[in-house]
Structure 1
Amino acid sequence: MRADRYELVVQQPYPANYAASVARATEERESQQWPILDLSDFPSLDQYQLILLGHPIWAMTPANPMYQFLAQMGQQLANKRVASFSTNAGYGAGDTQIVLNKLTPASTRMLPNYTVHDIELAKTTQAFKQWLQKMVIVK
């Protein structure tokens, strides 16, 4: 299976210090001042029918860069099949499905998300592959 990929990059990187990074992410989330993304080379999504969004879960919601991406580019997901896969710290996907539905147009077809506890990642390769196969097959 082949796929194109694109990495979201914030203009101002998060601090390497965990506590400082969490503090910044919390402030962004509480003020809804999401990080600025560098989307200068973002490709046209016209050629794609299926969009898979990979991201971590921060505080029971998609990470701030993903939230900003969806807020900024969600309209480009119109008439696409969209699913997310994420890692979490043991609390599950949180409100990921709600956020995806809210920040993408109604014409987008949201598919079931896949999330895994980050420390279980290596043990779930087969389950992820099975989920991925389903996403490719689902029309």
Structure 2
Amino acid sequence: MHTHPLRQIIESCDRAISAKDFDSLMENYSEDAALVVKPGMIVKGKDNIRKAFIAISDYFQDQLIVEQGDMQVIEGGGNALVIMETVLRFPDGNNGIVETTRRATYVFRQESDSRWLCTIDNSYGTSLLDADTA
């Protein structure tokens, strides 16, 4: 079965997050991108997204591991909606590791040079609807 090129891009982003390689990570975001940091907190622009990823890494004591599971890609109008499982592993504070799976949603835009850039990064997916952000 043919693998969508976005799987490779997302895999490289996950490796960059896990390795704290934020320069490589930012190569996959558009200048006008938005990142859901947590329910009720969204940052916009590559500089702010980079700062958010550094803060997230610090929060998880530089031990956050990100991997992907099942993925569906829906393309239309030069954009792609990615619906996927994101697997996160991080310290629990008691010398153990927590593993959690989110059903994430991402939006990518295909640029004129055929590169795909992330414009919306929402690792919380539709669970944002369950969050009390009022």
Instruction: Output the TM-score relative to the length of structure 2.
Output: 0.25
Instruction: Output the TM-score relative to the length of structure 1.
Output: 0.25
More helix by share: 1
More strand by share: 2
